[in-house]
Structure 1
Amino acid sequence: MDRALGPPEKMAERREDLTPMMAQYFELCAQYDQALVLFQVGDFYEAFCEAAEVVARRCEITLTQREDSTGEYAMAGIPIDNAESYIDRLLDAGYRVAVADQVQEPEETTGVVDRAVTRIITPGTLTEDELLDGERNNYLAAVAAGERIGCAVLDISTGDFYATSANDPETVADELGRFDPAEVIAGPDVPAELVEGYTVSPFEEEAFGIERARETVADYFQAPDRLLASDAEISACGAVLAYAEYARGGTEDRLDYLNHLTRYDPREYMLLDAVAIESLELFERRTVHGHGEATLSGVVDETASALGRRELDEWLRRPLIDPDEIAARHDAVGELRDDVRTREQVHEQLRDIYDIERLVSRIGRGRANARDLRSLKATLDVIPRVRELLDDPECEKLRSVRERLDPLADVRTLIDDAIREDPDREITEGGIINPSFDEELAELRETERAGKEWIESLEASERERTGIDSLKVGHNSVHGYYIEVTDANLDRVPEDYERRQTLKNAERYYTPELKAREDEIIRAEARADDLEYELFSEVRSTVADRSADLQALAAVLAELDVLVSFATVAAEHEYSRPVVVGPDDPAVDGIYVEDGRHPVVEQTQSSFVPNDTRLSSDERVAVITGPNMSGKSTYMRQVALIVILAQAGGFVPAKQARIELVDRIFTRVGASDDIAGGRSTFMVEMTELADILDHATEQSLVLLDEVGRGTSTADGFAIAQAVTEFLHDEVGALTLFATHHHDLTAVAAELEAATNRYFETTQTAEGVVFEHDLLTGTADASYGVEVAATAGIEQAVVDRAREVLADDTPDARPAGDRTNGQANPDDPTEPDAGLGASRPGSESGTRQQAAPESEGGAVAEEIRDADVATMTPLEAMNLLASLQRRLESRD
């Protein structure tokens, strides 16, 4: 984000000629030259000159003119009571917004009203409920470079604060992808590609300086050098705190509710980078065509609160790799699943809790009103009831949750005693504090009540005294209390009436006693209102002092909410408890899933065919063939989602599952390009593939879909084969490789720990029927023409494609393209035999058939091997040109 509107140069040059108000505006513009200044004028926020043009255009409001003795200025204003909706549009357009509020009451000054920037609104520093997604964290991230690369992420609205570092930028990039910050600030020497794709805002480099950063962190947390693991982490944390303070506009620099900083090692969790999160559709669908909440988080989200929904996302973004902690979560989910009554009652109670984290944030920043405190009290009311429902649980996790559910009875009692049950929204106009809470307040309110009661009885007594039946007693904000008499009865007005106001058909009066009562009421009311504000501020400050306890309570409630959600999903969708063990536990080798289901797809389709998964040290690589639409991609994602759910602590959609801990899931699925970055689909594919080959380990799960399809058939197959061999021989990762390169099945047949799997398809008179059953062996064809017909391709095109396909000889059928099991690489009569590049260490010493005696024979062999059924026209032309050149060179 690099959009700024400082003062126009011509205005800066002649500032002494401006009116005081306009001079004040342009002075603030100069001071906050990286932001668009919204300047309070009465009930509106105004912008002038070029800034007004931006506001009018982006917010779709009328551009007007301001005219004074110094000239005309373009002007555009937005109403203060609806400012957030307009500010949201400016943020979407890439602007930072500096809000300049009046800090003086107009009636208290004789000159221009003082204004100051009270907050700077940026995508990563939002605290306004109207601008925030209550179900998602809104992170600001800072990245600092040094001996290591440091990363800090802070959600100002909740107080969630994390820090980590790594030697390589790729790991930090993965962490940024995991948190998906709304805004990033980057220190000196941070590689631009590390923060590419995020909203990056400029910020002073001095904030990243180690000494200043250390002081900033020390203002909030003791001993930053012991809390954090590197100077880079300190630098990142200091900068993100400084930016958060900067966004407060200088009026409330410190964020006292920040009391917990979590330093973590990325290796403490399963790593899911941005590519995996997107391709597995954990939180967002990749296409515009969806089925409601057709994401993993949407399917398993039965949480009752905003706290729980954010925590669920956190668990899915960072699955555990500690078998004991995973088992503890499974214990709790299992107990709650089986105890239906307790689970449902706890869920109902959790529906009554408010978003404590964001309430505490507002309380700590002095932004909370009386209704916020009552919401906090309503949440604390729930805690004893939840503790009672969780009385004597069997598993340790639920016992721990119950013990940590602190009712905070003193906070609850303080709010209940001090704050009215239905307080006014404004906190400076009374109506928020119980009179019984303070003796002086009670006396003032009694004086006010008695005075108003006397005035209410005045009308009847004066009618009786004067005999004027139409006499009225009233009140307005300008003239105060009055006695109104119509002109027809003026002759009966008593001598002690003093004229207050003349109307068209009546006169208004007051009496010395009425004036005395009015003064008494006004004094009592004004003092009571002021006292209520003072008392409220004291109560709010006292509650703010318990921020750490309240945030700890919020964390426990969020944890319980997710456990109940997992249990509800397990019960309603027939999920089973998985067994998850460490890599040294002989009980499980790899991943075994019986009757596994895709958790999202099974909810959006009328029927779903379950499939088994077996990946182990003996069968590390599975090459999967089958036509488009047969279920290859769904199956691979299904396996990954089952692993994620299991290690997040949930039950899984399968009859049973045994999983050896996975440290990271890599995905290379789907087709995408990066036009802005100048990268083709194939280049993006190769970049993602390089990351997999560089970072995958024996404990990783790798999903590959159609590797090598973005280039020529020969190049694509060569890459696919080399990748398969490298993952098998060098990396040892558990790998699912879906492909239309049917020749790859022969390669898998020769690899010791590889296997072939295919999705069964039946050809009928009506067309192709996809059975969606995963079997051992290889597919007999790709059925691309049939899928094209199903997709609605013009019938003439489909018919012609079938003619071309029918003209192919049986010998031209792709290698490995048959149904009955795997090809026999040792049988020279099989078209599969001997395919692939030479690889030392195989039993035959080679995977390539001996070269033909003539170039013509080699050309014929290559023609036979060409997969014409799936080859693009461009690939066919390239192949033909290559063969022509080879024949011409022979001649």
Structure 2
Amino acid sequence: MESALGPPAEMAEIAEELTPMMSQYFELTDRYDDALVLFQVGDFYEAFCDAARAVSRTCEVTLTKREDNTGRYAMAGIPIDNAESYIERLLDAGYRVAVADQVQDPEETTGVVDRAVTRVVTPGTLTEDELLGGADNNFVAALASGYGLAVLDVSTGDFYATNPTSPAAVADEIGRFGPAEAIVGPEVSADAFDADCMVSPYDETAFERDAAAERVREYFGDPDTYGLTDAEVRACGALLSYAEYTRGGGAAATGEIPEDPSEADERERLGYLNHLTHYDPREYVVLDPTALESLELFERRSVRGVEGATLAGVLDETANALGRRRLTEWLRRPLLDREHIERRHDAVAELKHDVVTREALHDALRDVYDLERLISRVSRGRANARDLRSLKDTLDVVPELKSTLADAESDLLVDVREGLDVLEDVRDLVGSAIREEPPIEVTEGGVIREGYDAALDELRATERDGKQWIDDLEARERERTGIDSLKVGRNQVHGYYIEVTNPNLDSVPEDYQRRQTLKNSERFYTPALKEREDEILSAAERADALEYELFREVRASVGEETERVQGVADRVARLDVLVSFADVAARYDYCRPEFSKTGVDVEAGRHPVVERTQESFVPNDVHFDREEYLAVVTGPNMSGKSTYMRQVACICIMAQAGSFVPAASADLRVFDRVFTRVGASDDIAGGQSTFMVEMTELADILSEATPESLVLLDEVGRGTSTTDGLAIAQAATEYVHDEVQAVTLFATHHHELTAVADDLPGAFNLHFAATETSDEVRFDHSVSRGAATASYGVEVAQAAGVPESVLERSRELLAASESVDEGEVPAVGPDVEGSAPASDGEHATLDEFASVSAGSEAVARRLREVNVADTTPMEALALLDEFKRELDD
């Protein structure tokens, strides 16, 4: 994060000489010294000194100067009407932004207008739709010593607490939520957080046990009733404190001005935070960041600029934002409890077969707005009239949903139906009070329905009657004066007037009093017009004030029902995901998975993402049991090994999330965790090579996996020499088989590993075959028992467009290597016979050198120590010469 931008040091010396406004600004920068303060001055947010330079540079706005009796200050401003777009740039640059609004009406203030910070905008505490940019959760996390972790979405009220048991488990849970921001307590490392997450130390007193417990009690009740550990209590309390800090107080985002300016300095309690989800990580399948990335559950992998699909994307037929967030939650946290999994499957099965009900529900769910974010704005006093109408429109859908579910039989659908509170009182209140298409601003009238309040109706009637009297005035005055061009109008400065052109001034009556002189006309008013104007303005001002007060009362009343609305939102979100799962299952021929076996038995399984992106997809079976649980998978490049492995993982994750799966049938076991070591990557910033990253991931798997885990290993050991790589791969295979005993798919090009199946009783071979003709190699993409006979790497290189000269030389070297394997003495150059080393720039392989020196144990031992991958042709020739001299001796 960028450094704080408070007042420059020299300001301390002249603090007493500062103007009242600048004193006010620098007081706020002192109070919010971790943020860049944007200070309202009229229609702009201004920044001064170093903060101004940062705003100018980041937002690309002009840097100007402000001058007063103490000197000249750099100044830069952004328009309030378009502030969110500039704030977004500042956030992207790594700043927190403290927004200081005017909390007094300038027209009613004789001195400097009071200002106060009304919100601190940070990456993890966004609530503004313009900044959130979508339906996905936006989390902020707090991590306390002792592995206490709390996570909050300020925009929806989703609040989670857990206590992982190790640094690795903490990192897994953080990866599950992917927070945009985090605060950490004393003596807590930020290493567990992703580089994109803004991590900052926070007030140590907020992490103290007693203060934190009191804050948790204020929001959720006694921490002991949730079974929170001390570490969790400290994390929750600090996170609540931080959320309050970022919300500020006083003026709302809608531009409302509080009656009492001191409100802006009070701690704002977040009344919509009323439910804490306390969970044990062991209640859900663990999907660490590596698994989430390699299986492409949520993040798309770009290949040559073309983005692929994700598992979440192909399963997402949800109709609203509530469902989209809940779908993501279910995929991030698949279930371990078989009974709960099957309850979801029962509901999906019922909806899949009842097409009429499913389509009716989907159509109704399209009309649902984001209830969670709506009610959070209502509860915080930040909702406008349109938000209330959107909330009512959504609640109007609830009776239709209940009616459509009237005949539902599965437990989960019955639970959803019974839990759908129609909130008739809230719907009636908003419907009777708020106009159907109200303006955005709530302080300028036009919000409250006619007939809701008699006093307001009377004031509006007075205003309307007065305006009608004025509308009729023009015709009356024309008739009375005989001036046909006479006009009645109004402007903001002079109010209502009667305008007469200069040629007709002689006809102006005596009771006309001059108000304004123009070039070609004069403007007048009459005592009667002035009286009516005063009546209209008085009635309009009183009506606007009363209407605003009535709106606040309605909003507060709705806010009192926050918990009921959140309950409806929860049921609607669940229903939307179940309907989405059923729709996908029906449309793409998914089957209901069973959980009757201890292994995995899938018939004609497909990869849910790949099958959507290819014209044809070859299904494959999967079979593991207690006796055979480790498959060594071999086959040509591009034959489908990686797809097959990921397919198995996706099917298992989908099933435990509650979805049907892409297969003819699936009999599965419940996995506690999915591990992946798939693909090549490095960590340049962390100083780790591709091979080091690979080994780190392998170490995590070997130490954390259990017999109830699913393990995917792809090409382990390829980042080092062939000898080292094969040794590591074989040792890892034996360890997984003997010690871990997890269901494992191990894809490899080390064909020597296929012999492992003969020695390890729980291992077996699978391979992907290819059909070779004189013209091409065709990959069948079908899996069979047994080991592959070739990798066809040269053919894949040809398909990729590698130059023909390289391909031809590759074939020569491959043929030479194969002849060595068959016990023949190779020709080491294209024009040389016998065993003499290559010359004149021709290259030879180290395998050929090995055959020449096969008669010497010492030479053979030294040759085995050679790192083939790091040996240049010239070094190889030097080694050959050295070995030859040793043999001749």
With structure 2 as the length reference, what TM-score do the two structures score? 0.91
SS in 2 for 1:613: strand
For residue 81 of structure 1, report the CA deviation from its aligned partner: 1.0
Say if 1:886 and 1:707 are closer, same or farther in 2 by CA, change over 3 A. farther
CA shift digits 1:30-83 (9 cap, x unpaired): 221111111111111112222222112211222223334433322221111111
1:404 aligns with 2:402: no
Residue 338 of structure 2: aligned partner: 323
For residue 530 of structure 1, report the CA deviation from its aligned partner: 0.5
Residue 838 of structure 1: aligned partner: none
Residue 163 of structure 1: aligned partner: 161
Amino acid at match of 1:49: C
Give the Cα separation in 1 of the matches to 2:818 and 2:782. 29
Say if 1:487 and 1:624 are closer, same or farther in 2 by CA, change over 3 A. same
Q: Match for 1:274 among 289, 297, 305?
A: 289
Give the Cα separation in 2 of the matches to 1:288 and 1:62. 40
For residue 253 of structure 1, report the CA deviation from its aligned partner: 1.9
CA shift digits 1:195-225 (9 cap, x unpaired): 3533202311111111111111111111112
Give the Cα separation in 1 of the matches to 2:452 and 2:880. 94
Q: Match for 2:704 among 670, 695, 701?
A: 695
Give the Cα separation in 1 of the matches to 2:854 and 2:577. 68
For residue 166 of structure 1, report the CA deviation from its aligned partner: 2.4
Give the Cα separation in 1 of the matches to 2:605 and 2:142. 40
Residue 136 of structure 1: aligned partner: 136
1:513 aligns with 2:511: no
Residue 415 of structure 1: aligned partner: 430
Unaligned runs of 5+ residues in structure 1 are: 581-586, 815-852
Contact 2:604 2:664 in 1 (8 A): yes
Identity of aligned residues (%): 64
SS in 2 for 1:435: coil
Give the Cα separation in 2 of the matches to 1:599 and 1:755. 26
Give the Cα separation in 2 of the matches to 1:378 and 1:629. 52
For residue 889 of structure 1, report the CA deviation from its aligned partner: 9.5
1:390 aligns with 2:405: yes
Contact 2:190 2:199 in 1 (8 A): no
CA shift digits 1:582-637 (9 cap, x unpaired): xxxxx312111111111111111111111111111111100001122111111111
Q: 1:683-762 alignment to 2 at 5 Å? A: 683-762=692-771
Give the Cα separation in 1 of the matches to 2:489 and 2:227. 67
Unaligned runs of 5+ residues in structure 2 are: 250-263, 824-852
CA shift digits 1:151-173 (9 cap, x unpaired): 00000000000000022121121
Residue 301 of structure 2: aligned partner: 286
Q: 1:167-566 alignment to 2 at 5 Å? A: 167-195=165-193, 197=195, 198-250=197-249, 251=264, 253-289=268-304, 294-566=309-581
Give the Cα separation in 1 of the matches to 2:453 and 2:640. 70
Residue 33 of structure 1: aligned partner: 33
Say if 1:471 and 1:108 are closer, same or farther in 2 by CA, change over 3 A. same
Say if 1:647 and 1:887 are closer, same or farther in 2 by CA, change over 3 A. farther
Amino acid at match of 1:488: P
For residue 87 of structure 1, report the CA deviation from its aligned partner: 0.9
Amino acid at match of 2:82: N
Contact 1:812 1:863 in 2 (8 A): no
Contact 1:459 1:473 in 2 (8 A): yes
Amino acid at match of 1:77: G
Say if 1:882 and 1:136 are closer, same or farther in 2 by CA, change over 3 A. farther
Amino acid at match of 1:377: K
Deviates more, 1:496-505 or 1:668-677: 496-505
Residue 623 of structure 1: aligned partner: 632
1:152 aligns with 2:161: no
Say if 1:880 and 1:532 are closer, same or farther in 2 by CA, change over 3 A. farther
Question: What do you get for the CA RMSD once the two structures are aligned?
Answer: 2.4
Contact 1:856 1:887 in 2 (8 A): no
Give the Cα separation in 1 of the matches to 2:67 and 2:477. 53
Give the Cα separation in 1 of the matches to 2:111 and 2:862. 90
Say if 1:529 and 1:431 are closer, same or farther in 2 by CA, change over 3 A. same
CA shift digits 1:735-783 (9 cap, x unpaired): 0000111111111221001001111012222222111111111111222
Amino acid at match of 1:232: A
Give the Cα separation in 1 of the matches to 2:43 and 2:709. 59
SS in 1 for 2:498: strand
Runs of 4+ in 1 over 6 A off after TM superposition: 861-866, 875-891
SS in 2 for 1:488: helix
Give the Cα separation in 2 of the matches to 1:563 and 1:639. 22
Say if 1:392 and 1:499 are closer, same or farther in 2 by CA, change over 3 A. same
For residue 880 of structure 1, report the CA deviation from its aligned partner: 9.6
Contact 1:813 1:864 in 2 (8 A): no
Give the Cα separation in 2 of the matches to 1:534 and 1:709. 71
Residue 800 of structure 2: aligned partner: 791
Amino acid at match of 1:772: H
Residue 657 of structure 1: aligned partner: 666
With structure 1 as the length reference, what TM-score do the two structures score? 0.91
Deviates more, 1:190-199 or 1:128-137: 190-199
Say how many residue pairs are matched: 842
SS in 2 for 1:594: strand
Contact 2:374 2:387 in 1 (8 A): yes
For residue 6 of structure 1, report the CA deviation from its aligned partner: 1.8
Say if 1:680 and 1:813 are closer, same or farther in 2 by CA, change over 3 A. farther
Contact 1:12 1:26 in 2 (8 A): no
For residue 322 of structure 1, report the CA deviation from its aligned partner: 1.2
For residue 726 of structure 1, report the CA deviation from its aligned partner: 1.0
For residue 112 of structure 1, report the CA deviation from its aligned partner: 2.2
Give the Cα separation in 1 of the matches to 2:398 and 2:464. 38
Give the Cα separation in 2 of the matches to 1:257 and 1:732. 47
Contact 1:269 1:318 in 2 (8 A): yes
Amino acid at match of 1:547: T
Say if 1:383 and 1:888 are closer, same or farther in 2 by CA, change over 3 A. farther
Contact 2:302 2:308 in 1 (8 A): no
SS in 2 for 1:330: helix
Say if 1:64 and 1:739 are closer, same or farther in 2 by CA, change over 3 A. same
CA shift digits 1:227-279 (9 cap, x unpaired): 24200000000011111111112535211110100100111111111111111
Contact 1:472 1:485 in 2 (8 A): yes
CA shift digits 1:848-872 (9 cap, x unpaired): xxxxx99825866998999x9xx74
Give the Cα separation in 2 of the matches to 1:455 and 1:387. 53
Amino acid at match of 1:724: T
Residue 255 of structure 2: aligned partner: none
SS in 2 for 1:743: helix
Contact 2:185 2:201 in 1 (8 A): no
Contact 2:298 2:313 in 1 (8 A): yes
Residue 105 of structure 1: aligned partner: 105
Q: Match for 1:670 among 679, 696, 705?
A: 679
Contact 1:859 1:883 in 2 (8 A): no
Say if 1:884 and 1:370 are closer, same or farther in 2 by CA, change over 3 A. farther
Contact 2:348 2:579 in 1 (8 A): yes
SS in 2 for 1:469: coil
Amino acid at match of 1:45: Y
For residue 140 of structure 1, report the CA deviation from its aligned partner: 0.5
Say if 1:409 and 1:496 are closer, same or farther in 2 by CA, change over 3 A. same
Contact 2:300 2:309 in 1 (8 A): yes
Give the Cα separation in 2 of the matches to 1:157 and 1:882. 67
Contact 2:601 2:668 in 1 (8 A): yes
Give the Cα separation in 2 of the matches to 1:325 and 1:285. 30
CA shift digits 1:5-31 (9 cap, x unpaired): 121112333233333322322222222
Amino acid at match of 1:231: D
Contact 2:854 2:860 in 1 (8 A): no
Amino acid at match of 2:208: G
Give the Cα separation in 2 of the matches to 1:34 and 1:759. 58
